[in-house]
């Protein structure tokens, strides 16, 4: 197998894993189909917001909107219901309003790591009332921190998969294993804490300080690769490397940002 084929399969596998992780994560917008006066409309409900009100939009085409528009509010009931999460607060309801060519309703900004849960009522029908959408608020992360973090973690995954292909085909993989460990360290333990701090305040929320799965899965995967690197000259090292890569693939399949930072409304601070 030529080197190009190795890289091709490594890139494809890494892209599939990255897309899967992104689309199954708790910050990826939730898709919803609603019915209104016999028409179906696709909505994308936000599950992440920065430090400002977040607009939930009902994408009704312009040529259909005149059927619903009435001064400032809709003649057909279209409401957004929200409350702080996790609390037993009563839901607050707001109507969708026609503004700037769209029907919109706003979720009010929350403290950093604060969450809201919400559902919709469209034309008398409740959507997601029994399984409300949860949105978490954070600070905006500078691109100069976020982009290197994403690229380095993507690169670490790519190199790990490439190393695995070398292992299973009996090629020399030592250099690529070392590069994987180095890039994972910089991406996960230099830029990772910078992103965490910029978004929520703390530098590290994994073990032993918290239960953030993003931090913990990075730590566990890195430890596996450290073992693989430490046993590089062992005759069975290829099995250790293979196990480290498989473990990395499995653990990074866990949705990104799950069990992350959360604001405690009763204590009015981030959960410890």
pLDDT digits (tens, 9 = 90+) for 128-169: 999 999 999 999 999 999 999 999 999 999 999 999 999 999
Q: Tell me how far apart the alpha carbons of residues 229 and 191 are, in angstroms, rounded to a whole number.
A: 22
Find, among 134, 147, 264, 133, the residue nearest to 198 by Cα.
147
Tokens of 129: 């009332």
d(CA 203, CA 22): 22
DSSP 8-state class, residue 69: -
The more confident residue out of 222 and 207 is 222
Whether the pLDDT of residue 121 is over 90: the answer is yes
pLDDT tens sequence across 190-212: 999 999 999 998 998 888 887 77
Q: What is the mean pLDDT of residues 182-189?
A: 96
Provide the terminal-to-terminal Cα distance of the chain, rounded to the nearest Å: 51
Q: Residue 82 in contact with residue 95, Cβ under 8 Å?
A: no
pLDDT in tens, 49-75: 998 999 999 887 655 655 555 444 446
Question: Over the Cα atoms of the chain, what is R_g?
Answer: 23
Is residue 258 pLDDT above 70, yes or no? no
pTM of the complete model: 0.84
What's the whole-number average pLDDT of the chain? Answer: 88
Q: What is the mean pLDDT of residues 23-33?
A: 86
Mean pLDDT along residues 99-107 = 88
Three-state DSSP at 135 gives: strand
Percentage helix, strand, coil for the chain under 3-state DSSP, each rounded to 5: 40, 25, 35
pLDDT computed for residue 62 by the predictor:
56
């Amino acid at each position: 197998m030529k080197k190009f084929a190795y890289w091709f399969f490594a890139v494809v596998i890494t892209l599939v894993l990255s897309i899967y992780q992104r689309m199954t994560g708790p910050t990826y917008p939730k898709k919803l189909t609603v019915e209104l006066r016999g028409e179906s409309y696709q909505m994308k409900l936000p599950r992440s917001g920065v430090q400002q009100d977040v607009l939930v939009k009902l994408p009704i085409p312009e040529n259909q909107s005149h059927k619903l528009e009435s001064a400032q509010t809709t003649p057909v009931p279209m409401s957004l219901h929200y409350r702080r999460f996790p609390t037993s607060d009563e839901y607050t309801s707001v109507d969708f309003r026609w503004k700037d060519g769209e029907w919109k309703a706003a979720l009010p900004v929350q403290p950093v790591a604060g969450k809201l849960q919400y559902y919709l009522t469209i034309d008398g029908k409740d959507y997601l009332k029994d399984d409300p959408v949860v949105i978490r608020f954070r600070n905006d992360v500078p691109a100069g921190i976020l982009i290197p973090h994403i690229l380095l973690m993507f690169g670490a995954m790519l190199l790990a998969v490439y190393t695995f292909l070398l292992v299973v085909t009996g090629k020399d993989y030592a250099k690529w294993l070392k590069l994987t460990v180095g890039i994972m360290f910089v991406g996960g333990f230099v830029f990772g804490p910078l992103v965490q701090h910029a978004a929520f305040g703390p530098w590290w929320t994994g073990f032993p300080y918290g239960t953030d799965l993003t931090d913990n899965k990075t730590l566990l995967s890195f430890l596996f690769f450290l073992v693989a690197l430490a046993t590089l000259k062992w005759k069975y090292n290829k099995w250790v490397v293979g196990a480290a890569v498989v473990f990395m693939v499995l653990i990074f399949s866990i949705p990104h940002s799950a069990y992350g930072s959360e604001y405690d409304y009763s204590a009015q601070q981030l959960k410890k």
